[in-house]
Structure 1
Amino acid sequence: MTAVPPSEPSIQPSRRQLSWFLLIRLLAISIFLGGAIFFQFRAEGVPASSLNYLYGLIAVAYLHGLASAVSLPRVDNLRFFALTQIVWDLIFCLFLIYFTGGTDSLFSFSLVFVIIASSVFFDGRRILLTAALAAILYGALIDLQYFGHLPVLPGVPPADTIGWREAFYAVFVHVTGFLLTALLCAALAERWRRSEQALLEQRIDYDELESLNRVILENISSGLMIINQLGRIRSFNRAAEQITGYSLEAVYNRDVRQLFPEFDVYSDAGMHARQRAEAVVRTAQGEDRILGFAATPIQDPQGRDVGLLVSFQDLTRIKQMEEDLRRADRLAAVGRLASAMAHEIRNPLASISGSVQLLIEGAHVTDEDRRLMSIVVREADRLSALLTEFLAYARPRKPQLENCDMGKLAGEVIQA
């Protein structure tokens, strides 16, 4: 089974192209036919009746142009519409050549313009078919005139005055010119369409790249702000809106010194690049947030600074977590100190309690002394119980193990 070669991509004319074609054709017909009428009117020996045919051609051309212009917005098949226009032009030019002298006509070159016009709408094969049709029609006209099968009009040489050499030469020269014009137009049209396709693909690539860059800027987690050389804000991505509470419409083209003076990236001296810094910025809702930011110059292809890219992140939660960690460290240090002090207090307290108990058991202790010593022992035991409870409270608790989602936990850490 043989493979079918890929067909040439079809060319679809646009309504804009066809509109310009109708307008230019009408202007060309007006100029050429108007000139023909003028010169034949000035020429001696030319009967006035010969001008009636040209008047009729002008009227038909205007009527056809008007009908084509009216029907163009309603046409769905623009390729077929363009084909009918080219066929009409070939027939129109054929009558123009016949009415202005046939073999002696000065307008035989008009068929060349039809071939050139076809290159705007058709591919190379159809351009050659247009040239072949023009050659056939022109050759048929000369043959019919040579053999006397056409009525003799005023200004048209009769058949007996046309030699076969003259007729053959006219057909040969014009057919050769038609084919050469078609080949040249086909080559130029193909090259032009390839260049247009390459430019279209390049433009599509640029559009896709621009769209991708826009998506990246809108979905990046860091706030991005671009200011120009005058300190005006020219770009503000979605993350910047979420962090500051300002929309792009609210900050666009505003002075960064008035809106975000804490950044300190622009002054009367110009733009200031910053590697890394922190600032407390007030949001649109009146909330103070700690932002870490950096400012990088933007340069054009010639290396000149044209603006400044300011990237920033909300560090408020991170700073709060750091403060909580520092507070926890201080509390842990106090707990360790209190635990050590409790141990140091319990040791001499146990010695005092033990010594007093030994004194109570002595034989020479009066009842009053024994009562007082019992009070000392009882209060020492109560103080020891308080220290025990304090140590139980200050002692670090054993960790409570439980299952957790590591993916969710990692996402929260990254987001923080």
Structure 2
Amino acid sequence: MCPARARRYYPVPARAAPRLTGPENGRIIRGAPLRTSDPRRMARQRRFTTGTLPEPRRLLAWVYMARMSVVSAIFVAAAWAWRDAPPGTTLAATLLFVTALLVTGGSLWYTHLARREPGSLYRYTQTVFDVFMVAVVVHLTGGKDSSFAPLFVLAIFSGAVLLPIVGGMLIAVLASVLYFGEIVWSAHALDAGVFIQIVIFASVALVTGYLGDRLRHTGTVLGEVETELRLLRLDTDDILASIHTGILTLNGHGHLVYMNPTAAELLGLPAHRFLGQPVLAALDEAAPGLGQLIESSLRNRAGVRRSQTGEGRDGMVLGVSTTVVERPDPEPPSVTAIFQDITGSRRMEALRRRAERLEAVAELSASLAHEIKNPLASIRSATEQLASDGIDPEDRGVLRNLVVRESDRLSRLLTEFIDFARVKLRASTPLVVGRILGHAVELVRPHPDSSGRTIRVEITPDAHEAEVRGDEDLLHRAFLNLVLNAAQWAGPGGTVLVESDVVESDLLSTALSTTRAVRVRVTDTGPGVPMGDVEHVFDPFFTLRPGGTGLGLALVQRAAEAHGGAVFVDEPRGEGWGATFTLYLPALDGNGEE
């Protein structure tokens, strides 16, 4: 017989997943270098972490444009007043324009055409050149009275943004020295305005330098996070693309959001064709029941742990689990389905079960022959003695009673065996478990084996109206055997507790795709089931009770299997209690569906 039916059920703690402690295990640690020996990942790492920074290059482009705008304006103004301007001024303007043009052209080639990294020395050189260029412009346009003196502020600002905060302050000091030197060189009087201007230079350098330093630090951190997220996403894509498990995600409207290559191969559906499109009907066509399973998960907002589809193309059967991800209201939830081809394992399971059935038939035949052989031997012996002469009337009466008793035993044994062998669903209709269980208890109460026993029934409100789909007569016989077995073992003065409730459990058949079950527990105050006999209590003809046939619990097991359920021997309830048998049956929802 199937080993699962005789397995003692205990809750087993889940194994702890291995702790991931480093980037090599897929965990990204902020600020930690990403070390890997994968060449593709190393290439992506260089791409995202050693690429040129766009911010300094864009700032330098603005600096180039501002520089050429200023010198071009000075040169145009000098050309406009060429005849009236002193020759030294026009020559200086021309040299300034040519020098700025050459420097800016070379800088543009270096940073934008040659794609060289603008290092620290390069940025210092550009900023110092701009400060000297502004000093020349101020000198050519009137010194202290020049309208271009505020250009020192722009030069200081660009230095504070392009350079560290110390570098920005050094540029401010250089600008102040050049401005102060221009005033002294031009023999202008030193007044409060000059010192205010220098204070402004220092203030601009300090404020912009601090802000620039904070912005650079923030940009560095964000760049690291962005790099890590990109690498993580690429690694996730690689994993999903390489695993031999199909994964697909649908939004709340049944539209395909994601499908990995294995899912596309198993279902024979091109992902690019259905991406963003309704796909439930196509899923049902490729794997019967898959679309309905996902639709049920969306409707009930609950995932399914284990299920399987019908046979699709080439007889393929998929084992499926679904997960529901809730979205902010009013957006409906999305569903992710994970599935594998279990056709091969299913066929191996069928072969295993076939072998187990053949083995069970052989064991059952041997047990039945043994059970029949003993009464037949007694009947034959008694008959031979009755046929002989010289038997006392008293002994003759004993022998006759022996023949009748053993004949009755054989009749009872064969009747129960026939009932056991014919266990199957003759009809499948919605049934109220509480009503059938209550009727079985009422039949056990007046039974001779229940004399002097107390039978208590506790059914929760939800179990009173809970329904299962099955055969009423078969369920009634299963409940009757469970309760009667408990009463027989409880003994005179003992107690039998019958309980029923509705629970969430994944113990039931994967083909039913259900986790909602009606649980029936029957507990007695008898001696309990010895640990060594737990594996055999559901075997046909196995019994520890004198006069028992060993077919009552075997019938309960077969009835449970016929209804897609399971029965177990559970842990004792506590002090003073004996055996506890627990029967699980798949419950129907409000629509009459499992």
Query: In structure 2, what residue type is equivalent to 1:63?
Result: L
Counterpart residue number, 2:226: 203
Q: CA separation of 1:310/1:120 partners in 2, compared to 1, >3 Å: closer, same or farther? A: same
Once the two structures are TM-superposed, the CA of residue 213 in structure 1 deviates from its matched residue by 5.2
Could you tell me which of 278, 282, 294 is aligned with 2:322? 294
Query: Does the CA-based 8 Å contact 2:246-2:261 persist in structure 1?
Result: yes
C-alpha distance in 2, partners of 1:207/1:74? 24
Counterpart residue number, 1:311: 338
Once the two structures are TM-superposed, the CA of residue 337 in structure 1 deviates from its matched residue by 5.4
Query: In structure 1, what residue type is equivalent to 2:128?
Result: V
CA RMSD of aligned residues (A): 4.6
C-alpha distance in 2, partners of 1:104/1:31? 21
C-alpha distance in 1, partners of 2:336/2:152? 61
Q: How many pairs does the alignment contain?
A: 323
Query: In structure 1, what residue type is equivalent to 2:343?
Result: T
1:206-285 paired onto structure 2 within 5 Å = 206-207=229-230, 210=233, 214=237, 217=240, 223-228=246-251, 231-237=254-260, 240=263, 244=267, 255-261=279-285, 262=288, 263-265=290-292, 272=299, 275-276=303-304, 277-282=307-312
Could you tell me which of 63, 70, 73 is aligned with 2:109? 70
SS in 1 for 2:248: strand
C-alpha distance in 2, partners of 1:23/1:103? 30
Counterpart residue number, 1:108: 149
Counterpart residue number, 2:173: 132
Q: CA separation of 1:74/1:307 partners in 2, compared to 1, >3 Å: closer, same or farther? A: closer
Counterpart residue number, 1:80: 121
Query: In structure 2, what residue type is equivalent to 1:199?
Result: L
CA shift digits 1:269-301 (9 cap, x unpaired): 996557544312535xx34224344363x4434
Q: CA separation of 1:265/1:100 partners in 2, compared to 1, >3 Å: closer, same or farther? A: farther
Counterpart residue number, 2:138: 97
Asked whether 1:176 is paired with 2:220, we answer: no
Query: Does the CA-based 8 Å contact 1:116-1:185 persist in structure 2?
Result: yes
Query: Does the CA-based 8 Å contact 2:63-2:158 persist in structure 1?
Result: no
C-alpha distance in 2, partners of 1:291/1:77? 57
C-alpha distance in 2, partners of 1:59/1:271? 72
C-alpha distance in 1, partners of 2:368/2:252? 64
Larger helix fraction of residues: 1
Could you tell me which of 205, 209, 218 is aligned with 1:186? 209
CA shift digits 1:154-186 (9 cap, x unpaired): xxxxxxxx3xxx334454222211111111112
Q: CA separation of 1:342/1:228 partners in 2, compared to 1, >3 Å: closer, same or farther? A: closer
Q: CA separation of 1:307/1:345 partners in 2, compared to 1, >3 Å: closer, same or farther? A: closer
Once the two structures are TM-superposed, the CA of residue 224 in structure 1 deviates from its matched residue by 2.1
Once the two structures are TM-superposed, the CA of residue 267 in structure 1 deviates from its matched residue by 10
Query: In structure 1, what residue type is equivalent to 2:119?
Result: L
C-alpha distance in 1, partners of 2:170/2:265? 64
Query: In structure 1, what residue type is equivalent to 2:309?
Result: A
C-alpha distance in 1, partners of 2:143/2:243? 75
Q: CA separation of 1:36/1:269 partners in 2, compared to 1, >3 Å: closer, same or farther? A: farther
C-alpha distance in 2, partners of 1:337/1:300? 56
Query: In structure 2, what residue type is equivalent to 1:312?
Result: F
Asked whether 1:58 is paired with 2:61, we answer: no
Q: Which has the higher contact order (CA 8 A, sep 6+)?
A: 2
CA shift digits 1:184-211 (9 cap, x unpaired): 1122112212332343344355446546
- Between 88-97 and 226-235, the greater mean CA deviation after superposition: 226-235
1:136-151 paired onto structure 2 within 5 Å = 136-146=177-187
C-alpha distance in 1, partners of 2:230/2:172? 40
Q: CA separation of 1:267/1:205 partners in 2, compared to 1, >3 Å: closer, same or farther? A: closer
CA shift digits 1:106-162 (9 cap, x unpaired): 11111111111012221111111111111122222222222xxxxxxxxxxxxxxx3
Once the two structures are TM-superposed, the CA of residue 250 in structure 1 deviates from its matched residue by 8.0
SS in 2 for 1:300: coil
Point out 4+ residue stretches in structure 1 off by more than 6 angstroms.
37-43, 266-270, 340-348
C-alpha distance in 2, partners of 1:121/1:142? 28
Q: Which runs of 5+ in 2 are unaligned?
A: 1-49, 385-594
C-alpha distance in 1, partners of 2:120/2:56? 10
State the TM-score, normalized to the length of structure 2.
0.45
Could you tell me which of 55, 66, 71 is aligned with 1:28? 66
State the TM-score, normalized to the length of structure 1.
0.61
Q: Which runs of 5+ in 1 are unaligned?
A: 1-11, 147-161, 356-416
Query: Does the CA-based 8 Å contact 2:297-2:322 persist in structure 1?
Result: no
Counterpart residue number, 2:504: none
C-alpha distance in 1, partners of 2:110/2:227? 33
Query: Does the CA-based 8 Å contact 1:226-1:234 persist in structure 2?
Result: yes
Query: Does the CA-based 8 Å contact 2:160-2:169 persist in structure 1?
Result: no
SS in 2 for 1:280: coil
Query: Does the CA-based 8 Å contact 1:265-1:272 persist in structure 2?
Result: no
Query: Identity percentage over the alignment?
Result: 21
Q: CA separation of 1:13/1:117 partners in 2, compared to 1, >3 Å: closer, same or farther? A: farther
SS in 2 for 1:294: strand
Q: Which has the larger radius of gyration?
A: 1
Once the two structures are TM-superposed, the CA of residue 101 in structure 1 deviates from its matched residue by 0.6
Query: In structure 2, what residue type is equivalent to 1:130?
Result: I
Query: In structure 1, what residue type is equivalent to 2:142?
Result: G
SS in 1 for 2:186: helix
